[in-house]
Amino acid sequence: MIKIMAVIMGILYYSTQLYSGIQYEIIERVHPLKPEVIRILDIDMNNEQIRVENGLSFGVLYGFETTSTMVEENKATMGVNGMFYNDLGLPYGIMVRDGKPIRAQFIGTPTVLIDSDNQVSIANVRLKAFVNIQSQKIELYGFNGLVPDGKWVLFDEVYGKTTRVRRLSTNYLIRENRVVEIMVTDQPVELKGWDHVLTYVGVHQAIKIGDSFSLELDYGLGDVNVKEAFGTGAWLVKYGINVAKDYEPFMGYTTAYQPRTLVGVTKDNHLIFAVVDGRLKGESLGMTGQESAKLMLELGCIHAAYLDGGSSSTMVISNKVINEPSGGEERAVAHSILIYHHKK
């Protein structure tokens, strides 16, 4: 284990190698008017012992659970809080878990993508998805979400117990890539026991029991095989340039000092997470958006973006919260990013 500690012009810097390919750093800027405490995970995604996955509260969409609980329940090595979410605990944006789309909501913000070779990128992505059943090709409205009349949505158990659709709908129940049952009902359909439930709001009669099923995904990225993906709040750094704005359509104003959770990618395929404590008078006030972008550039990121911040900002290592959440205790969130390290 390598440890480095130095004090330079009011800056305390600490660095240690937690595991092969995972470096943990603390930057403490001592200043009477603007103190800052920043914690950083530098993860070498070229290391075959490392994997990064999405974590959901209680393993499903909707609801709230602490990041430390998600880390412990999923037997992860460490984690940080992740995506923004609504009042019901439903994450905003695109999410892919173990190659399977969980959400395909377009909110106009960048998405962090990890492919099957552990290569990481951040890009503007608008996921299009199609279901192929026999000779039919059906464009999906989305995954695991509300569905308008005359549209198609694909559900699975991550959405909860049922489809929550209480209008006349045609539901194709799929197991092992075959339609095994068809239900036309104005009541929610149970999801347990099926690989997917393909729902059309209205009456549809062109698919039969026994028809084959396949899912076709288009991320607009060519042949990239996306393994994990999660949405962000806005760009900070793009192609090595500070692109932070004082106002972001999704997030609002970014000019106040706030606790921040930030994510970035370096040119040599390192994934960087930075958690900046804030709202702690005399200890750490937080950062503006512009300051956040400068930090990620200093950390070598060629692309970077916001994750959920404020009272949500949390970093967990070995089941312990190591930063100081601004609310005085760890906040329950809808989504976390889980980091695993397995020794050979």
Burial class (CB in 10 A: 0-12, 13-18, 19+), 33: exposed
The amino acid occupying position 170 is T
Per-residue pLDDT, 343: 52
Is pLDDT above 70 for 144? yes
Q: Tell me the HSE value of 157 on the side-chain side, using a 13 A CA sphere.
A: 8
With a pLDDT cut of 90, the percent of the chain lying above it is 90
For range 8-19, the mean pLDDT:
85
Q: Is the pTM of this model over 0.95?
A: no
Per-residue pLDDT, 311: 96
Is pLDDT above 70 for 7? no
Weakest mean pLDDT among 90-99, 120-129, 217-226: 217-226
Per-residue pLDDT, 69: 98
3-class DSSP assignment, residue 157 = helix
Per-residue pLDDT, 2: 56
pLDDT in tens, 279-319: 999 999 999 999 999 999 999 999 999 999 999 999 999 99
For range 38-59, the mean pLDDT:
97
Domains of the chain by residue range:
17-22+34-122+226-341, 128-218
Q: How confident is the model at residue 205 (pLDDT cuts 50, 70, 90)?
A: confident
pLDDT in tens, 328-337: 999 999 999 9
Per-residue pLDDT, 344: 47
Per-residue pLDDT, 4: 55
pLDDT in tens, 236-273: 999 999 999 999 999 999 999 999 999 999 999 999 99
If you average pLDDT over every residue of the chain, what do you get? 94
Please say whether the beta carbons of 284 and 324 come within 8 A: yes
Please say whether the beta carbons of 57 and 301 come within 8 A: no
Distances in Å between the Cα of 86 and the Cα atoms of 57, 101, 174, 259 are: 13, 19, 30, 19
